[in-house]
Amino acid sequence: MTDSKSIVSDPQFQKIGNNAESIVIIQGDSNDLANEFFTYGLNFKKSAHIITEHLFSSRPNISKLDTYFFPLAYLYRHSLELILKAIGFQYIKELCERKKFITDTFHNLAEILKKVSPFIQDQVENNRGAYNWLVSLFDDMSLKDTESDSFRYPFGIAVMKDEDPFSEMPKQYRIKAFFDKQTHIDLIAFVCKMEVAFNILSNYYSNTSKIIEDYKKYKPLFLEEGGSYYGQSVVGYSYSRNRFYPYVKAYTESADILYQYMTLKKRTKDSIFIPMCYLYRNGIELAIKGILFEECSLDHQSAIKKIKEKKHSISALWNSIKSDVVRHAGASEDDAHLRNVEKYIKQLHDFDGASDKFRYPTNKDLQVYYNKPKKFDVDNVAEFFGQLSYFLHGVCLMMSAQNEMQADMEAEYRAQMPNEYNYISKTN
């Protein structure tokens, strides 16, 4: 983490400092979307590998194995989605057909593989066993993570069906945890499978005839249970109350790992800067949603509704919690510190309002985000995210402590009420 964590009065997300070694230049190529998606996929996979190495570099920390699994799984899973789309773009050239390809498959890895399979028949026939293994693996993945959300958020939100089609009652929402039972995931096997799957797809992308046999060592199961005590992630059992915090912590600290790695190995900044930014950005989104869901004065349905409606909008989510933050802090609406915080919120929202600029090389219309060279200062960006993360963590702790104190006072008052009632009855 960076040294300075305090909110400053003049944050500048896009500020460029004087340290040339901290500068990274991002530039896309609108004429080669296949290569753009492949490069992004490679970079997300490389970032996942770095975090894996960090987890197992010494005696593993059990709590980190359990929580870091979420960003780690997302990085690997997203790398596979990106390289699959890269393969598709090698053969699908017309813009309208490319858009249809994206719309038809969305985030579903099994569907994307099915769509691109006619283009890679030579490689498939060259190693039918590897392809069949991929099909089984992606089919299993799609059962657990069809929309690429299962590792980014603690639960999904669905609208409850009303049996009366003419009912004027407002929509009712329900949440479903992505991991609702204790699961001991063989993390080492998981990582190896992701690496093997990426290697097979890399062969398809590069149109090589190299035979990969490593897949035979592993079952085509996405989240296989088992593994040694220091080689597994246990998920789905302790997040019933503080659902968001483990995700916030894991995403933010995983981003810290990538930042620290870049400071030691400067040449890696070109490849892992974008994944680092995504991890930080999702940590911010999760932190605000956690405050909204767990600490604000909204009732359960209203909180879920806002999370559902505001989606990835940092600005809209912040506006949903601002009044509660002000009340808990005993501040005014025009408090100078809050005004400074809102500068961070606005800058981040203006740059990446839909949570796409650090996930994909293009927008939904397949227009490259960084068509012209774009400079970033790695140190400044990490510091910007670090300061905002630290503030939101402090807000969460403050509101949680106050809410817990209020709940204790109310419980104590309710416990005394029968005694007071009996005393009044006897005196009368």
pLDDT at 63: 87
Distance (Å, whole) CA 270 – CA 251: 20
Strands (E), 86-204: 155-159, 173-177, 183-186
Residue 68 and residue 139 in one domain: yes
Residue 105 domain boundaries: 31-240
User: Is pLDDT above 90 for 286?
Assistant: yes
CA angle 31, 194, 284 (to 5 degrees): 75
Residue 37 and residue 131 in one domain: yes
Share of the chain above pLDDT 70, in %: 93
Which residue from 247, 266, 250, 262 is spatially nearest to 382, judged by alpha carbons? Answer: 262
pLDDT, tens only, 377-392: 999 999 999 999 999 9
| Confidence grade of residue 3 (pLDDT, cut at 50, 70, 90) | very low
pLDDT at 242: 67
pLDDT, tens only, 52-90: 999 998 777 888 999 999 999 999 999 999 999 999 999
Instruction: Retrieve residue 284's tokens.
Output: 């911010």
Residue 270 and residue 341 in one domain: yes
List, in sequence order, every residue forming a beta bridge with 217; answer none if it has no partner: none
User: Is pLDDT above 80 for 423?
Assistant: no
CB contact set of 209 (below 8 Å; sequence gap of 6+): 122, 123, 126, 203
Domain end (from 240, 260, 287)? 240
User: Is pLDDT above 90 for 135?
Assistant: yes
User: Is pLDDT above 80 for 51?
Assistant: yes
Residue 109 CA: distances (Å) to CA of 77, 106, 170, 329:
9, 8, 35, 45
Distance (Å, whole) CA 384 – CA 131: 43
Residue 177 and residue 261 in one domain: no
The residue type found at 365 is: D
What single-letter DSSP state applies at residue 312? T
Tokens 């991002």 appear where?
A: 26
Element housing 102 (H / E):
helix 95-105
Q: Is the pTM of this model over 0.85?
A: yes
Q: Say if CB 46 and CB 261 are below 8 A apart.
A: no
pLDDT at 428: 54
Domain end (from 216, 240, 264)? 240
Q: Which whole number is the average pLDDT over 167-171?
A: 73
Domain end (from 191, 222, 240)? 240
Residue 17 CA: distances (Å) to CA of 14, 377, 381:
10, 7, 11
| Confidence grade of residue 161 (pLDDT, cut at 50, 70, 90) | confident
Residue 153 and residue 163 in one domain: yes
How many other C-beta atoms are found inside a 10 Å radius of the C-beta of residue 64? 17
Q: Which whole number is the average pLDDT over 130-143?
A: 96
Q: Which whole number is the average pLDDT over 23-37?
A: 96
106: left (phi over 0), alpha (psi -120 to 50) or beta: left
User: Is pLDDT above 90 for 178?
Assistant: no
User: Is pLDDT above 90 for 426?
Assistant: no
Distance (Å, whole) CA 237 – CA 363: 37
pLDDT at 93: 97
Q: Provide the number of structural domains found in the chain.
A: 2
Residue 100 and residue 124 in one domain: yes
Residue 109 and residue 178 in one domain: yes
Residue 209 and residue 143 in one domain: yes
Which residue from 381, 157, 194, 419 is spatially nearest to 284, judged by alpha carbons? Answer: 381
Residue 415 CA: distances (Å) to CA of 242, 261, 265, 410:
26, 54, 60, 9
Least confident among 51-60, 244-253, 297-306 = 51-60
User: Is pLDDT above 70 for 237?
Assistant: no
pLDDT at 60: 78
pLDDT at 80: 98
pLDDT at 413: 84
Strands (E), 187-239: 232-235
pLDDT at 2: 42
pLDDT at 162: 67
The residue type found at 185 is: I
Residue 68 CA: distances (Å) to CA of 73, 151, 232, 349, 355:
8, 10, 11, 26, 20
Share of the chain above pLDDT 90, in %: 81
Q: Which whole number is the average pLDDT over 356-370?
A: 96
User: Is pLDDT above 80 for 188?
Assistant: yes
Residue 145 and residue 214 in one domain: yes
Residue 86 and residue 192 in one domain: yes
pLDDT at 1: 40
pLDDT at 211: 87
What single-letter DSSP state applies at residue 127? T
Highest mean pLDDT among 57-71, 166-180, 194-208: 194-208
pLDDT at 90: 98
User: Is pLDDT above 90 for 4?
Assistant: no
pLDDT at 59: 78
Residue 118 and residue 169 in one domain: yes
Tokens 């769509």 appear where?
A: 115
Residue 198 and residue 218 in one domain: yes
Mean pLDDT score across all residues of the chain = 92
CA dihedral 105, 353, 310, 99 (to 10 degrees): -20
pLDDT at 110: 97
